[in-house]
Amino acid sequence: MPPVIVAHALEKHFGNIPAVRGITFAVEEGEAFGFLGPNGAGKTTTMRMVQCVSPRTGGRLDVFGMDPAVDARAIKARLGVVPQENNLDPDLTGAENLLAYARYFGIPRRTAEERVARLLAFVQMEGKKDVVIETLSGGMRRRLILARALVNDPDILILDEPTTGLDPQARHLIWERLRTLQEEGTTLLLTTHSMEEAEHLCDRLVIMDHGEVLVEGSPKDLIRTTIGGHIIEVAADETVIACLRSRGIPYETAGTLVHVPTDRPNELARTLLDTCGAITLTTRPATLEDVFLKLTGRTLRE
């Protein structure tokens, strides 16, 4: 089965400013593929090119084997989009929002009503179907936006920060629904700043910075190859740093802590306790966030 999305040397410039610099990736049918990166990394720009709303400057991009520059209408008919902003019509009810959206795809009224009822139940919003949007909570609106994106029964669901600002219960409900959609064959394409979300949802992902792909792989593989299995955290005082340097032990300073990556946490912890004096340390599993910060740095991006 060929990939549903193929990009090769894909570029996007805004005037003389390069936003995406010749990236290459492929998304297989039915997988969850993520784009991670700091603000301005190029991930949303890449998603907009896939959505056929921002023309590429150079390179190749195929979606369902079609060119977005030529076949935008046919591609869009098979996409569902969950934008970062809550852009439902505030004057309509939840059901009215979904029915109005169904008209854009030419879905017959009876079919649309049946589909909307099913989708409202899918996101556990059937009890709020007749409530005006402006009176709903942020979590309820996000669930309705997910339902709206599914009105046309898309083959690819594109999600831009799908759970930003949600409480844990709402976030986990959306994760559960996304996993159900994937099990039914829907391809998921998402951006997120939540490393937990990326680890939970993504089969594969790329980490981007300055318009380029830094790494690609599964979350587990990226953690293993970039960091290792565990992180030992120690207070970042001069004695500890001098001890680590004298023994050639790699480390990274993270604010008031020193992070020491290792695949042998017990052995290395004992070595540090025996040779670096009276120190307090903590051992924890390495995470995707450790990978992200190692590759993109800890400097705040605006």
Each residue's pLDDT tens digit, 112-163: 999 999 999 999 999 999 999 999 998 999 999 999 999 999 999 999 999 9
pLDDT at 302 over 70: no
Domains of the chain, CATH where assigned? 5-218 (3.40.50.300), 229-285 (3.30.70.1510)
- Token pair of 20, please? 């995406």
**Cα–Cα distance, 234 to 144 (Å, whole number):** 45
Give, as one character, the DSSP assignment of residue 254.
E
Q: In what order do the strands lie in the sheet with 252-254?
A: 252-254, 257-262, 230-235, 281-285
The predicted pLDDT at position 273 comes to: 87
- Token pair of 3, please? 């990939």
**Cα–Cα distance, 47 to 160 (Å, whole number):** 8
What number of residues does the chain have?
A: 302
The predicted pLDDT at position 103 comes to: 94
Each residue's pLDDT tens digit, 204-262: 999 999 999 999 999 999 999 999 999 999 988 888 888 889 988 899 888 889 899 99
**Cα–Cα distance, 112 to 33 (Å, whole number):** 29
pTM of the predicted protein model: 0.92
